[in-house]
Structure 1
Amino acid sequence: MRASVSNSQDLGMPAIYLHTLAELLHTIGVDERDLILRVGLDPTRLNSTELRVSQAQASEFVTRAIIESGEPGLGILLARELKLPLHGALGTAVMSSRTLAEALELMTRYLTLRAPHLKVEKRVAGSNVWYAVKCDIELGPLQGFVLDAVLFGCVSMGAQLTGSPVPGTQVLRRGPEPNHFHRFRRSIGVPVDYGASEDALVIPASQLNLPVQFSNDQLAISSREQCETALKQLKEDAGFACRVRRVIETSHPFPPKLARVASTLYVSERTLKRRLQEEEASFQALVDQVRLERARDLLASTTMNLSQIADSLGYADAANFTRAFKRWTGLSPSHFRNRELQTAETA
């Protein structure tokens, strides 16, 4: 029996995908900002290829998005918007590949970086190569949405890489054809067959040698190294403290109350404190870590005054923020900002 989102290891979902989905919602008349805030997420934090949103919040956002838009095919629409650069280092590595086969091998190896709990199994059957997408947990409302985005996104990826749809490509889907799918069939551009035994992308072996139009050997090496580092880091970040930090990083209002973080992660406040203690961490220490990182970024890259920064970090006034920052770094915020500006000018 597969685990569910609530009790499985939560590796999070890249925030940039929710940002892209929010932009899509805006185009079809949904108040995306209001929806993001109601889920407890910070809209300004989602436009990042680095941050990840907890699986629980991602699931809630997608569920509400489907209901409020009245569009069950949101995953298919999102697939069209997923341009390769949005996939971070993996997108760069895929674009830098020499052939379609190399690009698909990278997708197979590193899919976890972009779609946690999904894995790809490759096999050859006759003149075709099958890339079956499997999920190791029950994603609930996210399941169909994610599989739509991944499989139809791969069709779009092939066209982006080679310059046109890959001839002979076919998508297989488990279960009966959804009532809404007839509206999308023609625009997908490849045959889609429901009622299959698995969810898979099927490509003729003869097409895998198609050249990638963005091929760059040097960039391919560096981006693959980044993918390896990111995959290792993601596995190391699977602890409970990282899950808590993930919620803190993307929360609105900031900082979130302990009770709300506990509720997001489906645990009691007491359990949250105990599990953090077991990892030699504390809720307040995690909040302060995120505050410090945000403070450094705001001081170095914006012209916000200290009162504005203090307010964005949840402090009552600039004086409280200044005391905290000096305690963390040994420098006043003004001294830190001046030092960063001088460093940038001499770089």
Structure 2
Amino acid sequence: MLVPIYYVPQILQQVALRGHNTQDLLASAGIILEDLGNASHKIPLTDFKALIRDALKLSGEPGLGLLVGRGLNPASHGIVGFAASSGASIADAMTIVARFLALRTPLVTMKIESDADEFRVVLDASPELDDTASLVLEVALVAVKNIADSLVLGGSICQRVHFAFPEPAYVGLSRDILGCDVLYGMAWSGMVFPLSGAMVKLSQHDAFVLQEAQLICQAELERVEHRGSLSEKIENMILKRQGEFLSLEQAAKLLNITPRTLERRLLDEHTTYQDIVCQLRRRIAHRYLCVDRISTKEAAFLLGYSDVANFRRAFKRWEGIPPSVFRRQTGKAS
């Protein structure tokens, strides 16, 4: 299994904060510094697990997963976090995360349950994680709780958190970071909210940005869907998935051909998969930046960039000017 390197930078940051050099961690996982800014880069699961084990050992911090999760705000999750932050309620936001979590990681699944009184967010780690499952669950659970908490003015409404593994020695850190009752040795991992609070409509909810983004993607889709080249079929495929920028391997699988065959056929059309994605992002970026209500930060996340700085660098490489200057020239707000 290949896994995205999302959240690897945050793991490295926690290790570095404790005074340790992280170069060896990167090297052991076959990652170079340039890879950390590439949202589509993936590494074998075995390397990812080795990196986690080495990070735990090097940092000497058994609660590393909690600390990594604490540093992840909604913006850290790219388009998934952005979409969830536009939810009409906590229940709506958590449903969005559950639906699209696979876009960020294949290592954790999430489902929603409710009854007359409670709204439950249930997370489950892949059995392939083995001894690293508890850390990955901690990262995911704290990060998802951060999304829910960010939607509520005045503090969290989460009643309690469950973990389906034994109580660790760092339980105090767990309760400090999560800020609510934390129970271990439970039948499932996740969060419990009062149903009434989870269903309350959020006053700051504004669905305009997502609606506008969907309209832009639809317009682009209509632009290419009647053409027949392979490159245009790939653009069509990406746009139909509402801006999910597939890896070459994912695109090849959907086209029922091998990655090598896809690369060869694109070379016959005098292009590459990377060029197609780059040009599509460039074109859609122009349209996003010409909409007043879509900020530069939101445009970056809608285009699949996990860090707005990476988007700014890419845009300057495309146009020779940063997005802020482009917006001023087109008379739009930054």
Same-fold status (TM-score > 0.5): yes
Which residue in 2 is equivalent to 1:206?
Answer: 196
After TM superposition, give the deviation of residue 38 of structure 1 in Å. 3.0
After TM superposition, give the deviation of residue 122 of structure 1 in Å. 1.8
- SS state at 1:139 partner: helix
From 184, 200, 208, give the equivalent of 1:194. Answer: 184
- SS state at 1:110 partner: helix
The answer to whether structure 1 residue 170 and structure 2 residue 186 are counterparts is: no
Amino acid at match of 2:250: D
- Give the Cα separation in 1 of the matches to 2:38 and 2:158: 35
Which residue in 1 is equivalent to 2:250?
Answer: 237
From 128, 131, 148, give the equivalent of 1:158. Answer: 148
From 27, 36, 49, give the equivalent of 1:46. Answer: 36
Which residue in 2 is equivalent to 1:57?
Answer: 47
Conservation of the 8 A alpha-carbon contact between 1:165 and 1:189: no
The answer to whether structure 1 residue 110 and structure 2 residue 107 are counterparts is: no
In the TM superposition, 1:138-149 aligns within 5 A as 138-149=128-139
- Give the Cα separation in 1 of the matches to 2:84 and 2:39: 16
Seen in structure 2, the aligned counterparts of structure 1 residues 340 and 231 have a Cα distance that, compared at 3 Å, is: closer
TM-score (ref. length: structure 1)? 0.62
After TM superposition, give the deviation of residue 183 of structure 1 in Å. 3.1
- Give the Cα separation in 2 of the matches to 1:51 and 1:189: 34
- Give the Cα separation in 2 of the matches to 1:210 and 1:125: 16
- Give the Cα separation in 2 of the matches to 1:58 and 1:42: 14
Seen in structure 2, the aligned counterparts of structure 1 residues 280 and 73 have a Cα distance that, compared at 3 Å, is: closer
After TM superposition, give the deviation of residue 94 of structure 1 in Å. 1.0
The answer to whether structure 1 residue 12 and structure 2 residue 3 are counterparts is: yes
Conservation of the 8 A alpha-carbon contact between 2:86 and 2:205: yes
Q: Residue by residue, what CA displacement relative to the aligned partner does 1:191-248 show, whole Å, maximum 9, x if unpaired?
A: 110111111211110111345465321223356778944669479718789xxxxxxx
- Give the Cα separation in 1 of the matches to 2:51 and 2:122: 27
Seen in structure 2, the aligned counterparts of structure 1 residues 191 and 65 have a Cα distance that, compared at 3 Å, is: same
Conservation of the 8 A alpha-carbon contact between 1:170 and 1:201: yes
- Give the Cα separation in 2 of the matches to 1:160 and 1:71: 27
- SS state at 2:30 partner: coil
After TM superposition, give the deviation of residue 86 of structure 1 in Å. 1.4
TM-score (ref. length: structure 2)? 0.65
Which residue in 2 is equivalent to 1:132?
Answer: 122
The answer to whether structure 1 residue 32 and structure 2 residue 45 are counterparts is: no
- SS state at 1:174 partner: coil
Conservation of the 8 A alpha-carbon contact between 2:248 and 2:259: no
- Give the Cα separation in 1 of the matches to 2:33 and 2:78: 19
In the TM superposition, 1:246-261 aligns within 5 A as none
Which residue in 1 is equivalent to 2:260?
Answer: 281
Seen in structure 2, the aligned counterparts of structure 1 residues 235 and 51 have a Cα distance that, compared at 3 Å, is: closer
Conservation of the 8 A alpha-carbon contact between 2:88 and 2:205: yes
Seen in structure 2, the aligned counterparts of structure 1 residues 164 and 24 have a Cα distance that, compared at 3 Å, is: farther
Conservation of the 8 A alpha-carbon contact between 2:40 and 2:247: no
After TM superposition, give the deviation of residue 133 of structure 1 in Å. 1.2
- SS state at 2:114 partner: strand
Which residue in 1 is equivalent to 2:222?
Answer: none
- Give the Cα separation in 1 of the matches to 2:129 and 2:213: 29
In the TM superposition, 1:334-345 aligns within 5 A as none
Q: With CA pairs under 8 Å and 6+ residues apart, which has the higher RCO, 1 or 2?
A: 1
Seen in structure 2, the aligned counterparts of structure 1 residues 292 and 166 have a Cα distance that, compared at 3 Å, is: closer
- Give the Cα separation in 2 of the matches to 1:20 and 1:213: 31
Amino acid at match of 2:118: N
Instruction: Please identify the structure whose Cα radius of gyration is greater.
Output: 1
- SS state at 1:122 partner: strand
Report the count of equivalent residues: 262
Conservation of the 8 A alpha-carbon contact between 1:96 and 1:212: no
Conservation of the 8 A alpha-carbon contact between 2:122 and 2:188: yes
Seen in structure 2, the aligned counterparts of structure 1 residues 173 and 47 have a Cα distance that, compared at 3 Å, is: same
Conservation of the 8 A alpha-carbon contact between 1:99 and 1:208: yes
RMSD of the alignment, in Å? 4.2
Conservation of the 8 A alpha-carbon contact between 2:91 and 2:119: no
Q: Residue by residue, what CA displacement relative to the aligned partner does 1:75-131 show, whole Å, maximum 9, x if unpaired?
A: 100111111111111111111222212111101111111221422222223400122
Amino acid at match of 1:92: F
- Give the Cα separation in 1 of the matches to 2:92 and 2:169: 36
- Give the Cα separation in 2 of the matches to 1:230 and 1:72: 37
Deviates more, 1:204-213 or 1:56-65: 204-213
From 6, 11, 31, give the equivalent of 1:21. Answer: 11
